Structure 1
Amino acid sequence: MHSSKEELKKVLLNLLLEDVEFRHAVAGAIGYKEILDRIAKVDEDMNKRFLEMEEKMNKRFLEMEEKMNKRFLEMEERVNARFLKVEEDIKELRKDLNDLRRDMQEGFKRHDEEFAKVWKSIEDLRRDMQEGFKRHDRLIQELSISIGSLGRRTGKDMERLILNIYRDQLMQLGIDKDKARRFEYIDKEGLYGLKGKRYEFDIIVSNSHADILEIKNRVAEDDVVTFYEKVNSIKPVIEREYGSIKRLVTVSIHIDREALTKAKELGIECIYGYMVRG
């Protein structure tokens, strides 16, 4: 057996030395095996490297997942905290709105009560004014009846009646009708106009000045002019006896619109019941 191996080795050796093709075939066979071995080694190395890479990647993915989970948890906590804060703000805002609504309702209620009081006062005033107008109309009617029945009676009664009707309006000007006195002056020498001309007014004196009154049932524009001219004609006489003249005042039941306009131009105060349009 041993000799057979030796013989085989000799034969193979001779073939390698003598037969070029055989020698190349053997070399190729040997190289192919080395290649296979090297491929196997590379495959083993690649598998090993892929395993290592897979482990590293799995480890990286786990780390990234942990980080992402941690960040998501932190974000969720922040979002939840902000939502809780928003909910608290909404609750406070709702409370403030409810308080505002309650305050507005109470304010509206108070305003309604105040308006009710105002309207009641207006109604009371309207009622009082209506009653006052009725009384005024009755006085006017009584005055008209009195005027109609006066006949030949003196005009002094009518003047007192007119003064009594407009007592309140006179008091608003600071004129007390109970202090009225009759002023009469006759220009015997003709110093201020025609000789013997008579001047008559109602004068109310207070605090060293005088208010001159012209009292008539109806005042026309000519009456205003005449009154103004008569007073200014004998102004020195009046001021010498009663002090400075403060105001000229006409008191009448009726006054023409033109007379009222003229009185304003001349600075004469007018107290009247009705204005007659021309």
Structure 2
Amino acid sequence: MGIKEEFLRLLKEDEEFRLAMAGLLGYSEIVSRLNEHEKTMQTILNEIKLLREDFNKLFEEQKKLREDFNKLFEEQKKLREDFNKLFEEQKKLREDFVLIREDFSKLGSRVEVILGRMGRRWGADLERTLLGTFKEVLEKEGIEPGKVESFSYIDFDGSITGLKGRLVQADILVKDGKLTLIEVKSFAEREDVDHLKDVVGYVEKILKRNIDQVYLITVNVDKHTLARAQELGFKVIYGSLVE
């Protein structure tokens, strides 16, 4: 009988031998499984090690992000401080601007008063100057500049001009029973001529008589204004005709 046959016989007939072999076979399986478990554990440990490395990298990145965030927060804080300073400066500039505007307004009022006085003075001086300049021409027309008088009337109720409180002013000359109205301008324009036509009507209503002759005396006049004045029946005495 060979070894194989003897081995099979013992397994079949000898219970103690059979149990011993079963134990040996089970131990080998356990050892084999332990080896597999060890390999699995090593794999898990390697993965844990990789995870730890990844975690450490992530932690460093998070730390860097936190530092960047803190820097950004500080910059934002600095910007807010700069903005507040700028706002205060703008507020101060606005206050200074208001003060300057108030001062300018006061100054403007004073300038208006001064210019108004100067304008009235210049207007009177201009009239005297032009009447003197065109003295010879006016005298040929029968007008003595020294006898020209200023006429003023306030239409308190508006019955004359249609506007309550309107001031009507003109230079007039009464000679030989004839009434002459004179308007003096440094540069006569069309609207001046139309306004003069209104003044003529106002004066006629106020004095309750017709004006016999109207003179427009001006240093310069353009041809359109001249034509308009002549169309309305005014005599124009001028220094030069401009285009």
TM normalised by structure 2 equals 0.51
Range moving further from structure 2, 31-40 or 115-124: 31-40
Are residues 1:202 and 2:184 paired?
A: yes
Matched ranges for 1:97-176 at <5 A? 97-128=76-107, 165=117, 167=119
Contact 2:11 2:17 in 1 (8 A): no
Are residues 1:46 and 2:26 paired?
A: yes
Task: Work out which of the residue numbers 74, 86, 92 in structure 2 matches 1:95.
Answer: 74
Q: Partner of 1:244 in structure 2?
A: 241
Q: Partner of 2:199 in structure 1?
A: 223
CA distance in 2, matches of 1:80, 1:31: 63
The Cα of 1:224 is off from its aligned counterpart by 7.6
Deviations 1:101-153 (A, max 9, x none): 122122112212211210111221343456678x68xxxxxxxxxxxxxxxxx
Contact 1:203 1:211 in 2 (8 A): yes
* Root-mean-square deviation over aligned CA pairs: 4.5
The Cα of 1:75 is off from its aligned counterpart by 2.0
Tell me which stretches of 4 or more aligned residues in structure 1 moved more than 6 Å: 224-227
Pair 47,179 (structure 1): closer, same or farther in 2 beyond 3 Å? same
The Cα of 1:97 is off from its aligned counterpart by 0.8
Instruction: Give, as a single letter, the amino acid of the residue that structure 1 aligns with 2:103.
Output: D
Are residues 1:56 and 2:32 paired?
A: no
Q: Secondary structure at the match of 1:201?
A: strand
CA distance in 2, matches of 1:92, 1:38: 78
Structure 1 unaligned regions, length at least 5: 1-28, 137-162, 171-175, 189-195, 205-209, 247-278
Pair 223,237 (structure 1): closer, same or farther in 2 beyond 3 Å? closer
Structure 2 unaligned regions, length at least 5: 1-8, 144-177, 204-213, 217-227
The Cα of 1:57 is off from its aligned counterpart by 1.0
Q: Partner of 2:229 in structure 1?
A: 233
- Matched pairs, number: 166
Are residues 1:67 and 2:43 paired?
A: no
Deviations 1:225-277 (A, max 9, x none): 789xx6533489637x322379xxxxxxxxxxxxxxxxxxxxxxxxxxxxxxx
* Structure whose CA Rg is larger: 1
The Cα of 1:60 is off from its aligned counterpart by 2.1
TM normalised by structure 1 equals 0.45
In percent, how many aligned pairs have the same letter? 12
Pair 187,38 (structure 1): closer, same or farther in 2 beyond 3 Å? farther
Instruction: Give, as a single letter, the amino acid of the residue that structure 1 aligns with 2:236.
Output: I
Q: Secondary structure at the match of 1:243?
A: strand
Pair 125,164 (structure 1): closer, same or farther in 2 beyond 3 Å? closer
